[in-house]
Structure 1
Amino acid sequence: MIVSQNWLKECFNFKQNPQELSDGLMMLGIEIESILDNASTYHGFYTGKVLLCEPHPNADSLSVCTVFTGDAESIIICGAPNIAAGQHVIIAKQGAIVPQGGFAIAKRKIRGIESNGMICSKYELNLGEDDGGIWVLPQESPIGISLAEYLGANDIIFEIGITPNRADCLSHIGLSREIACLNNQLNDFTIPAEQLALENYNKRIASTDIPSISIVSEDICNRYMGILIKGITVGDSPDWLKKRLESIGLRPKNSIVDITNYVLMETGQPLHAFDADCVSGNSIIVQTAESGSSFITLDGKERVLDNSMLMICDAEKPIAIAGVMGGQNSEISQSTVNIFIESAYFKPSSIRKTAKILGISSDAAYRFERGVDINMLPHAALRAAQMILDIAGGSMYGDMQDIYPITHISKIIHLRLQKAISIIGIPLTINDIIICMHSIGCKIMNNNSEEVVVECPSWRIDLSQEIDLIEEIARIRNYDSIPSQTEVHFPAERSIQSALSQPALRNIIRKHLVYNGFSEIVTYSFLDKKSASLFTDNPILLANPLGEEFSVMRPSIVPAHIKVISHNIRNGKKTLALFDIGKIFNRKSEKKSGIASLEGYDETEQLMISLTGISGKEHWSEQSKSYDFYDIKGIVEHLCDSLLLDGITIKTDIPLTLPKVILSKNIVSIYAGKKYIGCAGQLEPQYIRSFDCDIPVYAAIIELSTLYQLKQKKQFFKQIHTFPSVNRDIAFVADMHIPAEKIIEIAHSTGIPFLKDIQVFDVFIGKSLGDQKKSIGLSFIFQASDRTLIDQEIQEAINKIVMKVEQQLDCKVRS
C-alpha cells in the first residue's frame, strides 16, 4: 500500500523522520518497503525569471540569458527556441540532478561563455512529453520557490507491506493510529474532518423521497448505509485532490469517483456512488444473484454469476457486485445530477470468493475480503457527503439510512498475567498490561491481580483470543527487549510418529539431483478440474478454492511440472533439467500407501524429473546433442544405484499410475522386485503441446511413498584385483522384440564366477540379417581374483553362455 506522510500527519502529527518511522513500524510488524522523498527528487530546481535574453555571439541557435531565482542573478546558456525575456521558468542550479537524464548540473563554458545552470523543459523533469521547448510558467507564478513546493510535491511517500491480518492498517487513519500507538500517544490521534462531516449532515433537507433499503442476505451483509445527494455537478476534481490521489498512485477520473477513492484511502472503508436516477423503483435490495445470470461491470466486461455472489439490486435489476465492482447501468457520468452513496459491511469470505471466481482485483475487494471496521461506516459516508457538497455542490436529502440486522458485538477477552509472562518470557505487572492495552485502543472492563478483562476495538478484527493480546504486548514492548532462548529441546519423552516424520531418503534424493545439475522447483498442490480429470474420475474438490485453476487437490505432479517447463520455454529457456518433490491426493484405496490425513483420502509423495533441450554445454569442437530417452533412463538408474536400492529392473510394461494419453511409446516402467515404483521416457508430444510446449520432454515419475519402503543394499568393499581382465565380444542375431537386457540377464544366470561385467557395444539392423531381426553386440569382461585366466577357461565360459542364450531365446551367434 502507498501512503503519504502529509496525509498521515493530518491524523497524528508524529515527529520521527522517515528512517526512524520505518524502524519503529518494523518493530511493530509493519514493513516500509520503500521511501520516496519528492523534495529530494527535485532538489536544486527553483522557479525563476528570465531578465534578459540575447543571441549568443558564437552560436546562432543559442541564447545568453540572465535569470533571477529570488536571491541572485546568473548567466545561463539556453538552446530552446521558445526562450524569451520576461518568462517565468524552472531553473536547475549547480549540483541538481536532472530526472530525465540522471546527470548533474555543473558550471561550464559553452562557446566561450560560462553557463551557471539550466533552464528546464517538462520532459527533462519527467513531467511531460518532449515539445522541443522549455517549460514556461504562468506569469503569476512565484519566483524563488523550490520546484517541489511549486508542484505541491513536498511530500514523502511510503510503500508499506501490510500482512493479511492487519486490515486496520489499510488506510491513512489506520496507519496513523498505529504510529500513535508506537509513540504511546493514542489520545492525540484524530479522525480528519469528523466534526465538519457531522455539521454538514445536520444541514440536510428533510425528505421521505429517498431509496428504501432491504437486506435479503443478512448473513452476508451485516450492515448497509446510504445517503441521497441531489443537485450535484460532476466535473474535474480540484488540483489538491488530484495531486493527493496521484501521489499514492491513483488516477483521477471525476470529482465523485475521486472523492469515494479519497475516502477509501483515508478511512479504509470502501464506498460506492450510484447514479440515483438509474435506481429503478427508488429501492435498494441486497441479495444473492441468480445462477447463470450475467452482469456488465464498470470495466465493460460481462460477468457470469452464480447464486453465492452477493449483488446490490434495484426493483428491476442488479446494479453492482457487492464489495467488488459497480455496474455500467448505474455508473456516474458527466450528466449525473443525483447520487446515492453506499457504505456497507460485507462478509469477508463471500467477497474473497466472488472476487477470485470472477477474476476481479479492486481496492474495495482487497479491503472487504480482509475485513473492515463496521463502526467506520457512518463516518466514511458522512465524510464523502461533506466533500461532495464542498466540491460538486448539491444538497443532502433525508436521513442517512442505516440497516443493521446483525449488530456487531465487541470481543471480550480475559488476559491472564501469568499466561502472558510464560509465553513472552519477561517480567510483567498488571499495570504493564493495562498500559499496553490502552495503547492499542482496547477498553479495560475489569482487572485484578491475576487478570485483565479487555474489550477489543472494532477496527482490530484480528484480536479474537487471549494469545492475540499476548502477541500485542510483545509487539508493543519491542521484540528486541525480549531475551532470546537458544536452548530449546524436543521433549525427551515425546516422539514424532514415523508416518509423519520426514523420510530420510527425501533429502538424499534432493542432494543427489542438485549435485547432478538439476534445479528443484516447487509447485502448488492444487489443480484445475480439466487437468486432474486425466488422472482420476473422482478428484478431491476444494470447498473454498482460490479460483477455477486451483479448484481440486492434484492427483498427479505432472501437469503443474509441465506448466513450469512451458513457462520457461516461452521465456527463452529451452534447456532445462528440473525436479519436483511433492504430495499428491487421491480417494482412499487399499492399494495405495500413505498418510490418511482425513478419512477417505490418501496423501502420497511423488518425484518428477524432467529434461528438455541440449545435453551438456555447447562447444565449438563437437556437435551438440539433444536430450533423449537414454539420458532420463540413465538418470533414474544412477539415482537408484546411489540410493543402494536392491532388485531394480526396467521393463517395457505400460506404467500403472499414468494415463496412456500422456505417454509416448518410448517409455519404460521401473520395478523393485514386483513393486511398481515409477516410469521413465518421453512424454506424449500431443499432450505436451496442450501446454504450448513444442519441444520433446523426457521425464521420470517416481512413486516416492513406495520407494521409501524399499530396503537398501548393504555396502561391501572388495579388494582391487591384481590379475588382468580379458574381454570377448560376441554378436547375437535376435528377434526385434528381444531387448539386450534379456540376453545379459541369461548370461549372468549361468553362474560363471569370473564373469564381471557385460556391456552393449553395438546394435545393427539390416536386410542381411533377415526380416524382423537385429544384431546385438556384447562385450563380456572376465576376471578372476586369485589367478590369471587361461584361454580354455574363457572359451568354456563363452560356450556355456552362447548355448544357454540360444536355447532360451532362439538367438544365434552372428558369423
Structure 2
Amino acid sequence: MKVNLNWLKDFVNIDISVDELAKRLTDQGVSVENIENVGDDYVFDLEITPNRPDLLSVFGIAREIKAMLKKKFNKNPFRINENFPTTGNDIQVTIEAESDCPRYTGCYIENVKVDSSPEWLTRRLELTGIRPLNNIVDITNYVLLEMGHPLHAFDAEKIEGNRIKVRRATSNESIVTLDEVERKLDSNFLVIADEKKPVAIAGIMGGENSCIDEGTKNIFIESAYFDPTLIRKESKKLKLSTESSYRFERKADITALIPALLRVKKLVESICGGKMKGGITDINDEEVHKHQKVYFTIDWLNNFLGSELSKKEAIESLSNLDFKLSGDSNIAVEVPPFRRDIENKEDIAEEVVRMVGFNNIPFNKTINFSQVAFLPENTNKIERVKDYFVSIGFSETINISFVSEEEIRYLGDIEKSIAIRNPITANFTHLRPTLIPGLMKTLKRNISVGLKDIQIFEVGNVFIKDKQTNRVNEPLELAAVANGRIKSNDWRGENRNIDYYDLKGTIEGLFDTLRINNVIFEKPTSNEIIEIGADIYINKKKVGTIGKLNSKIKELFDISGEVLFAELALSTILDHFDLNYHLQPLPKYPALLRDLCLLVPENVTNKQIEDTIKETGSDILEDIQLFDVYTYTDKKSNKELRSLTYSITFRSNTSTLNGKLIDNIISDILANLQKTLGVQLRGK
C-alpha cells in the first residue's frame, strides 16, 4: 500500500526525518519497502500483513505514528461532530440475509454536478496509484484510502423502483461491471439489486447500469459491511480483486460505516455542490455496540515477555493505540472495533512490546529448562532417511502440494485425486496424489539454469481419496529423481550416465541403512509411466516403485535425457525400521573370499541367484557382491549368453576358516544353482 507523507501530516505532527520514520515503522511491524521523493512530498510503499486491516488507510498509519511518537491527533475523521437524522431517504433498503450483510448504511444526495476533481484531490489519488475519473467517484476512492472503508456511489435515477435489495443472485443473472466485462452470476454471489436487476456485485465492483456519468444529478452513497468469507470466495471465483474487496476480505470496521459516509457527504457537498435529501439509512446498527474485552495482569505480562515493565508503561503503550483500559490488578482492555486481530492476552502483549520496542526488553543470559522434550519417534526416523540421501549426494526439495489435472492424468489416478474448490491458478487445481510432478518441475528449473547431474528427493504427504469411504488419506511418501552423469567405479565403468541400477542400488542402500530385510524387487504391475523398472515389496506388501520414466512423461515436463525415479510409501517403510541398535563386537577371525563367474540364463535375475547362494551358504556366509556383468554370443549355439561374476565373503565368529570347508560350500552352491536355476560355472 502506498501513502504519502503530507497526507499523514494532516492527522499527526511528524517531527522526525523520513528515514527515521521508515525505520521506526518497520521496527513496529509496518514494513517500509520503498521511499520515493515526489516534488515536496514522499511516498512510502508499505507491506501490510493480512491480520492488520486497520492499517489499510492513511489514518490507520497515522494512528501508528501517533502512538509511536506519543502525540495527539490534529483531527480525527471518525469523531462525528454533527447531528444527522436516521429517518431514511427516497431509496428503500432491505437485506435478504443478515449473515451476508450485517450492516448497511446509505444517504441520498441531490443536485450534484459531475465534473473533474480539484488538483489537490487528484494529486493524492495519483500518488497512491489510483487513476482519477470524476469528482464523485474520486471522493469515494479518496475516503476509502483515507479511512480504510470502501464506499460506492450509484446514480439514484438508475435505481429502478427506488429500492435496493441486498440479496443472493440467481443462476440466470449476469451483470456488466464497471470494467466493461459481463460476469455470469449464481447463488454464491451477493449482489446489490434494484426491483429488476443487479446493479453491483457486493463488496467487489459496481455495475455499468448504475454508474456515475456526466448526466448524473442525484446519487445514492452506499457504506456497508459484507461477510469477509463470502467476498473472498466471490473475488477468487471472478478472479477479480479490487481495493474494496481487498479490505472487505480482511474484516472491515463495522463501526466505520457512518463516519466514512458522512465524510463522503461532506466532500460531495463542498466539491460537487449537492445536498443530502432526507436522512441516513442505517440497518442493523446494533452491531456497533458489540465490544470485546481481554484481561491480563502486569505479572503475567512481564513473565510472558521476560520484561520488567511497570503498570504505567504498559497502560501508556496501549492507551496510545486508542485501547480503553480499566481495572487495577486484573486489567480489562476494551478492544477497539478497528482492531479485529486482537483476540487474547498474548495479542495484548504483542502490542505492548511493539510500542516499548523489542530492543528495550532485557536480555536474559540464563535459560532454565523445566522439562526436556523428545521428538516423536517418526521424526527421528524421517531425519535418518533424509540424512542417508543427503550423504550420498542427493539434495532435498520442498515443493507446493498443488498439481494440475493434466499431471494427474499422466502420473496418477484422477478418480482418487482431490480437486480444489477455489484453485489459485489453472495449474494448481488438485492436491497432489504423488510427489513426482513437483520433483520433475524442480528438475526442469535446475536444468534450465544450466545445472547438470542432478539428484533430488522429497519427503512429504500426498492426498488420496478412498473410493469406498470417500475419505481423504494423507500418507507420507518419499520420492527421488536423478538425471545426468554419475562418477562410480563399478562393473559399468566410471563417469557414465546414471541408469536404473544406480538408483536401485541407492534404494537397496536405504533399506540396508534402515536394517530392513525381506525386500524384493519384482516386475512392475503397471508400466504406464516407466520403460524399465520394478515394484518394491517388504514381506510381500508393495511399498514402492522404481524405474526409468518413459518419453511421454519427459515430454510433459519438457525434459531431455534419461530420468530415473523412485517413489516409496515411507509411512509403511518406517513401521519396519527400529531405531534401537543391536551392537555386536568386531570380528576376531579373518574372512575368506571366493569369486564365482557364472553363466546365467536370460530369464534368471540377480535376486534369484543371491537368494539361492544365501540359502546354501550356511551361517558363515557374510556378504555377496556382483562386480561384473558380461554379455557375449556363443559361437557354437549362436545364442546370446550372460556372465555374472560375484565376490562371496565367508567368516566364522568362532574359528579360522580353512579352504577345504569353503570349497565344499562352493560346490554345494554351484550344485543348487544348476538344479534350481540352470546356472553353470563359466568354463565348464
Q: 2:334 aligns with which of 437, 455, 459?
A: 455
In structure 2, C-alpha distance between the alignment counterparts of 1:177 and 1:784, rounded to whole Å:
81
Q: Per-residue CA shift, 1:750-771, capped at 9, x if unaligned?
A: 2175785442523537697979
Say yes or no: does 1:169 pair with 2:55: yes
Please give the secondary structure, in 2, of the residue aligned with 1:221. Answer: coil
Asked whether 1:509 is paired with 2:395, we answer: no
Q: Distance in 2 between matches of 1:742 and 1:711?
A: 27
Q: Take 1:369 and 1:419, find their aligned partners in 2: how far apart are those partners? A: 34
Whether contact under 8 Å (2:624, 2:649) holds in the other structure is no
Change in 2 beyond 3 A, CA 1:800/1:452 = closer
Does residue 374 (structure 1) correspond to residue 259 (structure 2)? The answer is no
Alignment deviations for residues 172-222 of structure 1 (CA, whole Å, 9 cap, x no partner) = 10010111011222x334236988x969x99x9x995x3322111211211
**In 2, are the aligned partners of 1:503 and 1:708 still within 8 Å (CA)?**
no
Query: For residue 518 of structure 1, what is the amino acid of its counterpart?
Result: F
For residue 280 of structure 1, what is the amino acid of its counterpart?
Answer: E
- Specify which of 342, 349, 352 is matched with residue 232 of structure 2: 352
- C-alpha displacement of 1:376: 1.9
- Whether the aligned pair in 1 keeps the contact of 2:192 and 2:200 (CA below 8 Å) is yes
Structure 1 residues 545 and 453, CA, compared in 2 at 3 Å: closer, same or farther?
A: farther
Residue of structure 2 aligned with 1:521, choices 389, 397, 405:
397
Note the C-alpha offset of 1:268: 0.8
* Aligned residue number for residue 438 of structure 1: 319
Q: Which one of 500, 510, 527 corresponds to residue 639 of structure 1?
A: 510
Aligned length: 670
Aligned to 1:775: 641
- Residue correspondence of structure 1 range 315-394 to structure 2 within 5 A: 315-333=195-213, 336-394=216-274
Within-5 A mapping of 1:107-146: none
**Counterpart residue number, 1:50:** none
Specify whether residues 800 and 722 from structure 1 end up closer, same or farther in structure 2 by C-alpha distance, changes over 3 A only.
closer
Q: How does 1:776-791 map to 2 (within 5 A)?
A: 776-781=642-647
Alignment equivalent of 2:521, drawn from 627, 640, 651: 651
Partner-residue secondary structure (3-state), 1:352: helix
- Correspondence for 1:810: 678
TM-score, with structure 2 as normaliser: 0.83
Deviations 1:372-419 (A, max 9, x none): 222222232333344445555555444332223652312233333433
Moved more, 160-169 or 805-814: 805-814
Q: Quote the residue 1:416 is aligned against.
A: 297
In the alignment, which of 577, 580, 593 is matched to residue 458 of structure 2? Answer: 580
In the TM superposition, residue 563 of structure 1 has moved relative to its aligned partner by 4.8
Task: Give the letter aligned to residue 424 of structure 1.
Answer: L
Q: Is the 8 A contact 2:463 2:472 kept in 1?
A: yes
Q: Counterparts of 1:662 and 1:255 in 2: how far apart (Å)?
A: 64
Q: 2:355 aligns with which of 462, 476, 479?
A: 476
User: Is it true that 1:183 corresponds to 2:65 in the alignment?
Assistant: no
Distance in 2, matches of 1:696 and 1:303, equals 47
Per the alignment, residue 465 of structure 1 pairs with 344
Residues 1:310 and 2:190 aligned together:
yes
Q: CA deviation at 1:31?
A: 2.1
Amino acid at match of 2:121: L
Do structure 1's residue 557 and structure 2's residue 435 form an aligned pair?
yes
Q: Which of these residues, 521, 541, 545, is aligned with residue 679 of structure 1?
A: 545
Aligned pairs (5 A) from 1:1-80? 1-38=1-38
User: In the aligned structure 2, how far is the partner of 1:467 from the partner of 1:235?
Assistant: 50
Q: Please say if residues 643 and 682 of structure 2, whose CA atoms lie closer than 8 Å, have aligned partners that are also in contact.
A: no
Provide the residue aligned with 1:272 in structure 2.
Answer: 152
Greater RCO (Cα-Cα under 8 Å, separation 6 or more): 2
Structure 2 distance, partners of 1:761, 1:624, is 17
CA 518–262 in structure 1, closer or farther in 2 if over 3 Å, else same: farther
User: Per the alignment, in what secondary structure is the counterpart of residue 407 of structure 1?
Assistant: helix
Which whole-Å CA distance do the structure 1 matches of 2:349 and 2:591 have between them?
Answer: 76
The amino acid of 1:708's aligned partner reads L
Segments of structure 2 that go 5 or more residues without pairing to the other structure are: none
1:305-354 Cα distance to aligned partner (Å, 9 max, x none): 44333222222222222222333433445555544322211122222222
* Higher share in helix: 2
- The CA deviation at 1:4 is 1.1
Question: Aligned partners of 2:574, 2:214: CA distance in 1, in Å?
Answer: 69
Work out whether 1:289 is the aligned partner of 2:169. yes
- Larger displacement relative to structure 2 (779-788 or 246-255): 779-788
Partner residue in 2 for 1:611: 482
Deviation string, structure 1 residues 482-506 (Cα, Å, up to 9, x no partner):
22345555543x856x7x5552132
- Residue 298 of structure 1: CA displacement? 3.5
Residues 755 and 780 of structure 1 are in contact (CA less than 8 Å); yes or no, is this contact kept in structure 2?
Answer: no
SS in 1 for 2:287: coil
| TM alignment of 1:202-281, pairs within 5 A | 210-232=90-112, 234-281=114-161
Give, in whole Å, the separation in 2 of the partners of 1:721 and 1:558: 47
Report the equivalent of 1:47: none
Q: Which amino acid aligns with 1:764?
A: T
Q: Which residue identity is paired with 2:13? A: N
Cα distance in 2, alignment partners of residues 570 and 288 from structure 1: 48
Measure, in 1, the Cα distance between the counterparts of 2:272 and 2:360: 52
**Aligned equivalents of 1:765, 1:260: Cα separation in 2:** 86
Distance (whole Å) between structure 2 residues aligned to residue 416 and residue 437 of structure 1 = 13
Q: Note closer, same or farther for the CA distance 1:217–1:546 as it changes in structure 2 (3 Å cut).
A: farther
Q: How big is the alpha-carbon RMSD for the aligned residues of Structure 1 and Structure 2?
A: 4.3
Give 2:515's aligned amino acid: L
C-alpha distance in structure 2 between counterparts of 1:574 and 1:282, whole Å: 70
The one-letter amino acid of 2:678's match is: D
AA paired with 1:730?
L
* Corresponding residue for residue 746 of structure 1: 612
Residues 562 and 220 from structure 1, CA distance in 2 versus in 1: closer, same or farther, beyond 3 angstroms?
farther
The 2-side partners of 1:388 and 1:164 are apart by 32
For 1:390 and 1:512, how far apart are their aligned partners in 2?
A: 74
For residues 560 and 295 of structure 1, the distance between their equivalents in structure 2, rounded to whole angstroms, comes to 39
Residues 1:182 and 1:331: Cα distance change in structure 2 (over 3 Å): same
Is this contact kept in 1: 2:237–2:422, CA < 8 A?
no
Aligned-partner Cα distance in 1 for 2:67–2:402? 40
In structure 1, what is the Cα distance between the partners aligned to 2:633 and 2:189? 69
- Matches of 1:297 and 1:687, distance apart in 2: 43
Q: How far apart, in 1, do the equivalents of 2:36 and 2:636 lie?
A: 80
- Aligned match of 1:667: 533
Deviation at 1:8, TM superposition (A): 1.0
Contact 1:421 1:428 in 2 (8 A): yes
- Which residue type is aligned with residue 170 of structure 1? L
Whether the 8 Å contact between 2:598 and 2:680 is mirrored in structure 1 is no
Contact kept, 8 Å, 1:415 with 1:466, in 2: the verdict is yes
Q: Which protein has the larger Cα radius of gyration, Structure 1 or Structure 2?
A: 1
Q: Percent identity?
A: 30
Report deviation, 1:442: 2.0
Structure 2 letter corresponding to 1:410: H
**Contact 1:207 / 1:397 at 8 angstroms: preserved in 2?**
no
